[in-house]
Amino acid sequence: MTDAATETRTVVVEREIPYPPEKIWRALTQPHLIAEWLMKGDFAPIMGRQFRLSGDWGGVDCEVLAIEPHETLSYTWNYAHDDPAYALESVVTFTLTPTATGTLLRMEQVGFRPDQKQAYQGARLGWRQHLENLEKTVAGLG
Amino acid sequence: MSGAHDILFKTLADPTRRAIFERLCREGEKTVAALTARAGVSQPVVSKHLGVLKQAGLVEGRHEGRNTHYRAQLGALTPLMDWTRQMAGFWESRFDDLEDLLKRMDQ
């Protein structure tokens, strides 16, 4: 199967949460708070920051790909395993949208099979380019 | 259970066939002769198993001279792994914990 639709697998989980984006952002970006709902790790809200999130079962290797305070946070979510069938390379993106009663929190995880390095690198490059464009736009605003 | 699941389960139910597939997963591309050396069955039997694996999309053959090199197609296992459902369950339960945390942050 070479259809582009079969090359990636995407998981989307959305939830309306009765708190403002600023508060949820703290829970997404402060390591002692991340540890309380996701996993322990040495996250820092810096572009390119590499960190590891560890749980009882092991851990995932991450790198910050995009960060827009109170709006978007994206990092790689890679799980190394000797058996390629269990290994995973993916990108997790959190998007926060204010609503009348709080925030719509959206988590999108795009995963790539281990034999799809090319697609994975392509997606990463896509993010980088997107962010470079964003930087240029912001710089242009003076 | 879907047809894709049925075919995968049936194909991998045979222990000799499963052993051939697992070996291709572990050790990479192999010829029929190399697989026969450790399969404990004759070359025609190995060839027959490879044919069934190929039909299920679990292996692919590549011709080189007079030999065919077989390799595992891990992508064919995707329906069994049901990755999407597992990960969605993981994130739903993480979001439950996140909501609990946000409530506690109020105090």
CB-based contacts of A97, cutoff 8 Å, min separation 6: A21, A103, A104, A106
Q: Which residues of B touch A (CB under 8 A)?
A: 25, 57, 74-75, 77-78, 81, 83-84, 87-88, 91-92, 94-95, 97-102, 105
How many residues appear in chain A?
142
CB-based contacts of A60, cutoff 8 Å, min separation 6: A39, A52, A53, A77, A78, A79
**Does pLDDT of A131 surpass 50?**
no
The structure tokens 């993916």 sit at: A90
CB-based contacts of A3, cutoff 8 Å, min separation 6: none
Which strands, in side-by-side order, build the sheet including B59-64? B30-31, B67-72, B59-64
**Does pLDDT of B17 surpass 80?**
yes
Predicted confidence (pLDDT) per residue in A94-129, tens digit = 999 999 999 999 999 887 654 544 444 444 444 444
**Does pLDDT of A21 surpass 90?**
yes
**B99: closest CA of chain A, how far (Å):** 7
C-alpha–C-alpha distance, residues A93 and A110, integer Å:
9
Question: Quick one: tokens of A32?
Answer: 């002692």
pLDDT band per the 50, 70, 90 thresholds, residue A89: confident
Contact residues on chain B for A114, CB-CB shorter than 8 A:
74
Output the pLDDT for position A127. 41
* Own/partner long-range contacts of B41-49 (Cβ < 8 Å, ≥24 apart): B41/B16, B45/B16, B46/B20, B49/B14, B49/B16, B49/B17, B49/B20
Superfamily assignment of A4-140 in CATH? START domain (3.30.530.20)
The structure tokens 């697998």 sit at: A9
Question: Quick one: tokens of A133?
Answer: 């464009």
Specify the DSSP class assigned to residue A19.
Answer: S
The structure tokens 């703290």 sit at: A26
CB contact under 8 A, B25 and A26: no
Q: What is the pTM of this model?
A: 0.56
Domains with residue ranges and CATH for chain B: 3-75 (1.10.10.10)
Output the pLDDT for position B5. 62
**B7: closest CA of chain A, how far (Å):** 16
The residue with greater pLDDT, B28 or B32, is B32
The structure tokens 């470079």 sit at: A132
Contact residues on chain B for A107, CB-CB shorter than 8 A:
91, 95
Contact residues on chain B for A13, CB-CB shorter than 8 A:
88, 91-92, 95
Closest residue of B to A22, CA-based? Answer: B102
β-bridge partners, A40: A54
Beta-strand relationship, B67-72 and A40-41: unpaired
Specify the DSSP class assigned to residue A14.
Answer: E
Instruction: Confirm or reject contact between A55 and chain B (CB < 8 A).
Output: no
The distance from CA B75 to its chain's CA centroid, rounded to whole angstroms, is 7
- The domain segmentation of chain A, as residue ranges, is 4-140
